[in-house]
Amino acid sequence: PDGMVKREDFDYVEEAVPEPGDGELLVQIQYISLDPAMRGWMNEGRSYVPPVGLGEVMRAGGVGRVVKSNHPEFAEGDHVTGIFGVQEYALSDGGGVFKVDTDLAPLPTFLGTLGMTGLTAYFGLLDVGEMKEGDTVVVSGAAGAVGMVAGQVAKIKGAGRVVGIAGGPEKCAFVVDELGFDACIDYKNDDIRGKLKEYCPDRVDVYFDNVGGDILDMVLLRLAHGARVVLCGAISQYNAAGGMKGPANYMMLLVNRARMQGFLVFDYASRYGQAAREMGGWLKEGKLKTREEVEHGLDAFPDALLKLFRGENTGKLVLAVNGD
Amino acid sequence: PDGMVKREDFDYVEEAVPEPGDGELLVQIQYISLDPAMRGWMNEGRSYVPPVGLGEVMRAGGVGRVVKSNHPEFAEGDHVTGIFGVQEYALSDGGGVFKVDTDLAPLPTFLGTLGMTGLTAYFGLLDVGEMKEGDTVVVSGAAGAVGMVAGQVAKIKGAGRVVGIAGGPEKCAFVVDELGFDACIDYKNDDIRGKLKEYCPDRVDVYFDNVGGDILDMVLLRLAHGARVVLCGAISQYNAAGGMKGPANYMMLLVNRARMQGFLVFDYASRYGQAAREMGGWLKEGKLKTREEVEHGLDAFPDALLKLFRGENTGKLVLAVNGD
């Protein structure tokens, strides 16, 4: 696609459900994850994963039920998560597939707060952002799947002040009243620079950026000495046909001896278990809140993706398939 | 000034040479340092030092001779370096003033390779860039005061490959033949992206950036995993009347789990002595080469500054005053 994705960029194709071979399992997918990163996977060129080719099944995370298994580690009836694609059934050799404990949370949560987006927030904030107790933390996309977890983990880990940035009064109310952020800036209606000054009197130690664009530029003007800008995403720029806009104020990194750092959650795979257990515990204790928004049916995929890019969802957006 | 500085932005004023009071010394300045950072000091607004106000003596580093002293640590005849301003004589209370050893190198070298620019290169490369043995290091502004030292220190410290970027065949010849870089890209005549690919087959581990703009964007496309971009300056952007251009490819930091980090040499003040001794040793052994270009006379200051921003100097540009 060039610029914003369109419905016509996708084809819906029917095929017979395949039979698992030796060492394979067949998963009936129940929920498909919708992620801003999907837009990047549709672009040609070098990135951290190969682009999705023309005619291939669109890449996506999912969660579902094992319906047939010739794999020693998975049994019929197990619930599993993995990169299953935008489809109703997936064959897998078990690589990158994990069982999920449905007693801990409903299935969609394993695509969000207890899945890749939650882990992204956790490692981005604590490892890349090196958040310390007392820090002022700003999170953009604060009502989104990653942002809502990043801000809550910051509070749990002792941040001095956690300020969200989100679009519209309803999202801001969700961020403050339900998630417990100290404040939220409505980028559609507020004077962002003025509010950053008001809500961050000691400037910003960690900025967890999910959006890029003008908001990134404004937060750069408010960095504290030694600040860490965590580059998690740039959803405002992914569909820009004229190309990405770079942060014009990047030299504030020099003035403030600050850094801007990118990361990919996959690099922390060896610590997923520990982090998921810690976050699962917070979820059980009620310290960590989660929200998922569910769209229905495989043919709703293109519209759901557009909804994500228009910022119309609150929390993690997933697609229920197979009538679940 | 708005955009590029002009001659008319400066006034030349004559006053009587002042008398040092108690605890003060009077320095007859012999060389004045010309630095890209000077342009930033002329802008209003928050930065790491207050802006130079209208009517104030332009801030500048300098080196000269103590001609009168009522300060216990400095004697008449000592050679000293400090922030003395663009003037012929400076009064000082000794703060930030250091004696220099004229046996080690000629005076202008203490404004460059053995002064702030050399220290900037040293700490930027080794501390901020965390250069490791075997790394591929790219340095822009490679024939400039900071760049020439950064690349040589990289070689001395065991970089696998050091590639400069400079403007024009003469500067590139200086960088490779005299300074010993492995290669140099002539940004005025070469296909920069193609040459980066050719000269950096294993991609770029450390990029020491003095220029910003399009060159920064092209190096971002060539980063290795875990790369460090050292933000030292953005000389291509300082006089841009339309505002700074941000690096459009900054999300390559995410794809490559890389970071971009700013710094100020002043934060390393406690280690100046150790670094200066190490670099002085390399200079004596002939491992570290230096070059200074000397302009003459106080009234040549505005033109010398423009020369710097036009990239017409090779090595450290200084202004000789008081007929030295």
pLDDT of residue A237: 87
- Decide if B188 contacts B168 (C-beta within 8 A): yes
Nearest to B248 among A245, A253, A262 (CB): A245
Are A254 and B247 in contact (CB < 8 Å)? no
pLDDT of residue B49: 86
- Decide if B79 contacts B99 (C-beta within 8 A): yes
pLDDT digits (tens, 9 = 90+) for A196-223: 999 999 999 999 999 999 999 999 999 9
Nearest to B251 among A231, A249, A253 (CB): A231
Are B248 and A250 in contact (CB < 8 Å)? no
Are B231 and A246 in contact (CB < 8 Å)? no
pLDDT (average), residues B242-255: 91
Q: Is the dihedral of CA A100, A104, A110, A115 positive or negative?
A: negative
Are B261 and A260 in contact (CB < 8 Å)? yes
> Nearest to residue A251, comparing CAs of B205, B18, B230?
B230
**Strands B79-83 and A79-83, how do they pair?**
unpaired
Closest residue in chain A to residue B257, using alpha carbons only: A263
How far is the alpha carbon of B212 from chain A, nearest alpha carbon, in Å?
9
Range from A44-58, B12-26, B167-181 carrying the lowest mean pLDDT: A44-58
pLDDT (average), residues B130-150: 98
Residues of A with CB below 8 A from B264's CB? 254-255, 257
**Strands A204-209 and A98-99, how do they pair?**
unpaired
Full DSSP string of B21-56? -TT-EEEEEEEEE--THHHHHTS-S-SSSPPPPTTS
pLDDT of residue B5: 87
Q: Is the pLDDT of residue A324 over 70?
A: no
> Nearest to residue B122, comparing CAs of B253, B258, B280?
B280
Residues of B with CB below 8 A from A217's CB? 246
Are B234 and A245 in contact (CB < 8 Å)? no
Full DSSP string of A240-275? -TT-PPP-TTTTHHHHTT-EEEE--GGGGGGGHHHH
pLDDT of residue B47: 77
In angstroms, the Cα distances linking B245 to B99, B141, B158 are 40, 18, 34
pLDDT of residue A15: 94
Closest residue in chain A to residue B253, using alpha carbons only: A262
Residue B201, phi-psi category: left (phi > 0), alpha (psi -120 to 50), beta (remainder): alpha
Quick check: helix, strand or coil at residue A225?
strand
> Max CA-CA distance within chain B?
62
- Decide if A220 contacts A229 (C-beta within 8 A): yes
Are B262 and A264 in contact (CB < 8 Å)? no
B74 confidence band (pLDDT: 50, 70, 90) = very high
Strands (DSSP E) along B219-277, which ranges? 223-231, 259-262
Are B250 and A267 in contact (CB < 8 Å)? no
A150 confidence band (pLDDT: 50, 70, 90) = very high
Mutate to test the interface with A, among B197, B221, B260, B264 (most CBs of A within 10 A): B260
Mutate to test the interface with B, among A231, A235, A249 (most CBs of B within 10 A): A231
pLDDT > 70 in chain A, percent? 100
Based on its alpha-carbon atoms, the radius of gyration of chain A, rounded to whole angstroms, reads 20
> Nearest to residue B260, comparing CAs of A233, A253, A128?
A253
Are A260 and B259 in contact (CB < 8 Å)? yes
Model ipTM? 0.90
Residue A161's contacts (CB-CB under 8 Å, 6 or more residues apart) are A135, A136, A137, A182, A183, A199, A200, A202
Q: Is the pLDDT of residue A323 over 80?
A: no
pLDDT (average), residues B22-49: 92
Q: Is the pLDDT of residue A99 over 70?
A: yes
In SS3 terms, A58-127 reads as CCCEEEEEEEEECCCCCCCCCEEEEECCCCCEEEECCCCCEECCCCCCCHHHHCCCCCHHHHHHHHHHHH
pLDDT of residue A300: 95
How far is the alpha carbon of B226 from chain A, nearest alpha carbon, in Å?
9
Cα–Cα distance between A89 and A119 in angstroms, integer? Answer: 25
Structure-model confidence comparison of residues A79 and B243, the more confident one: A79
Structure-model confidence comparison of residues A304 and A46, the more confident one: A304
Are B251 and A48 in contact (CB < 8 Å)? no
Nearest to A250 among B48, B246, B251 (CB): B246
Cα–Cα distance between A297 and A320 in angstroms, integer? Answer: 6
- Decide if A143 contacts A314 (C-beta within 8 A): yes
Residue A203's contacts (CB-CB under 8 Å, 6 or more residues apart) are A136, A222, A223, A224, A227
> Nearest to residue B97, comparing CAs of B24, B147, B181?
B24
Q: Is the pLDDT of residue B236 over 80?
A: yes
Cα–Cα distance between A165 and A176 in angstroms, integer? Answer: 11
Q: Is the pLDDT of residue A14 over 80?
A: yes
Residue A78's contacts (CB-CB under 8 Å, 6 or more residues apart) are A65, A66, A69, A99
Cα–Cα distance between A179 and A290 in angstroms, integer? Answer: 8
B44 confidence band (pLDDT: 50, 70, 90) = confident
pLDDT > 70 in chain B, percent? 100
pLDDT of residue A106: 94
Cα–Cα distance between B172 and A139 in angstroms, integer? Answer: 44
Cα–Cα distance between A317 and A306 in angstroms, integer? Answer: 11
The residue assigned the tokens 């040549």 is B300
Closest residue in chain A to residue B240, using alpha carbons only: A248
- Decide if A162 contacts A235 (C-beta within 8 A): no
Based on its alpha-carbon atoms, the radius of gyration of chain B, rounded to whole angstroms, reads 20
pLDDT (average), residues B85-107: 94
A90 confidence band (pLDDT: 50, 70, 90) = very high
pLDDT (average), residues A5-25: 94
Residues of A with CB below 8 A from B248's CB? 243-246
Q: Is the pLDDT of residue B324 over 70?
A: no
Are B231 and A248 in contact (CB < 8 Å)? no
Are A244 and B250 in contact (CB < 8 Å)? yes
